[in-house]
Amino acid sequence: MDHVHDEVLRKNCKFLKDNLKMEGLLDLMLEKGVFSPKMADEIRSKETTCDQTNTFFIILRRRGPKAFDVFMEGLKESSQTLVLERMEHSLGLDHVDQIH
């Protein structure tokens, strides 16, 4: 993962833990091949939402240079507008359409 993307995740850690909806996003990450079924099961097995989110981002950071872009795309596809806008703002993007 790009250093800038990692920094955006770090700076928004609390916000993401409080606002990220894991289930729809996790399915999209599976569909797009960023996460394996085993990884998704590991995330789902965590008892608390906070632990699920922590595990999600630990795995995401290890999934290569395209993982963050797929994460952003997944936010859009899972209608997580609040989170998407916060991430875009942190990246200095003006519009959702600039992701692609």
HEC letters along 28-95? HHHHCCCCCHHHHHHHHCCCCHHHHHHHHHHHHHCCCCCHHHHHHHHHHHCCCHHHHHHHHHHHCCCC
> How many other C-beta atoms lie within 10 A of the C-beta of residue 35?
23
Q: How far apart are CA 61 and CA 34, in angstroms?
A: 11
* Nearest residue to 25 via CA among 1, 57, 2: 57
CATH class of 3-99: mainly alpha
Task: Give the pTM.
Answer: 0.86
Domain ranges for the chain, please list them. 3-99
pLDDT tens digits for the chain (100 residues)? 889 999 999 999 999 999 999 988 999 999 999 999 999 999 999 999 999 999 999 999 999 989 999 999 999 999 999 999 999 999 987 444 444 4
